[in-house]
Structure 1
């Protein structure tokens, strides 16, 4: 999924979630910026994430992010790569050590624009996060990267308590729970 297919997918993306729907015009507009896929664009830039679930759709793999000290999905900066599905898969593999990652659907699963706080010389900025639904085997050993404090398969019924009020995580959880994709 390069810049042009991302733009097309965003233009055609539909969601019943009002907050998520409100992001679509800004995401689409960002695809026209030549620096949209590099972190040096300090106003905000694209990131790619993987919402990793087990095949039975009972658990999500989450990381306790070292810098943000919050439980989140795996993912990261595009660093110039315009294929955000590829970014999401690479980040998921690097941050978990999993080799059983499998794309459930190459289309966009979720989008979220969120603020990243200032850290040192890097000012507060937005991440325009494009998320993809990925499956993995729960019995495969996990490898915690230096970007994480912890990594765990979280039962769906415990995600809400773990993340507190994080509407984007809760939205992905709801989408997954309603999903009839059981491959």
Structure 2
């Protein structure tokens, strides 16, 4: 069992879910990891854990979303864990940095903010979602995984079609 797999189990075992639905997902993620030693890896066709991060500006008034190149939706940054990742939060922050170009992201809280399971072309993603704050003066730069990057107000996010992004933003706002 990899260090990343052990970290994910520890994160999920210690996480206090905000409601019964999130707690059920937490238990399902743990059962998946118990059944699949490769459950953190993209090659696990039964599904795999991913790490994502909602990036807040330093003033905590806007969130940075990426127009995903393949899915054509405005989403938080994130994606697959890599073999060099040793923690789930580290994987989420790495993905956030790669996709936003912003260095020095700082987690809003140490643990996840939300869990979201969704089907994408490669398999089920069991996404563990974090929130992070960008340093003052941070300037984003687009990656090849994105068609665009944009700072949204909380009210603008409420108008987006993707339920998972709206939920993640609402749960993050509750922590502010």
TM over 0.5: yes
Deviation at 1:82, TM superposition (A): 4.7
Where do residues 93-172 of structure 1 align in structure 2 (5 Å cutoff)? Answer: 93-117=97-121, 122=122, 125-137=123-135, 139-161=137-159, 163-164=160-161, 166-172=162-168
Structural RMSD (CA)? 1.9
2:82 is paired with a residue of what secondary structure? coil
Q: Distance in 1 between matches of 2:57 and 2:22?
A: 24
TM-score by length of 1: 0.84
Residue 178 (1) aligns with residue 174 (2): yes
Superposed structure 1 runs of 4+ greater than 6 Å apart: none
Runs of 5+ consecutive residues of structure 1 not aligned to the other structure:
none
Where do residues 3-82 of structure 1 align in structure 2 (5 Å cutoff)? Answer: 3-32=5-34, 33-80=36-83, 81-82=85-86
Q: 1:48–1:129: 8 Å Cα contact kept in structure 2?
A: yes
Deviation at 1:22, TM superposition (A): 2.7
Deviation at 1:55, TM superposition (A): 3.4
TM-score by length of 2: 0.87
The alpha-carbon distance between structure 1 residues 138 and 147, as it changes in their structure 2 partners (threshold 3 A), is farther
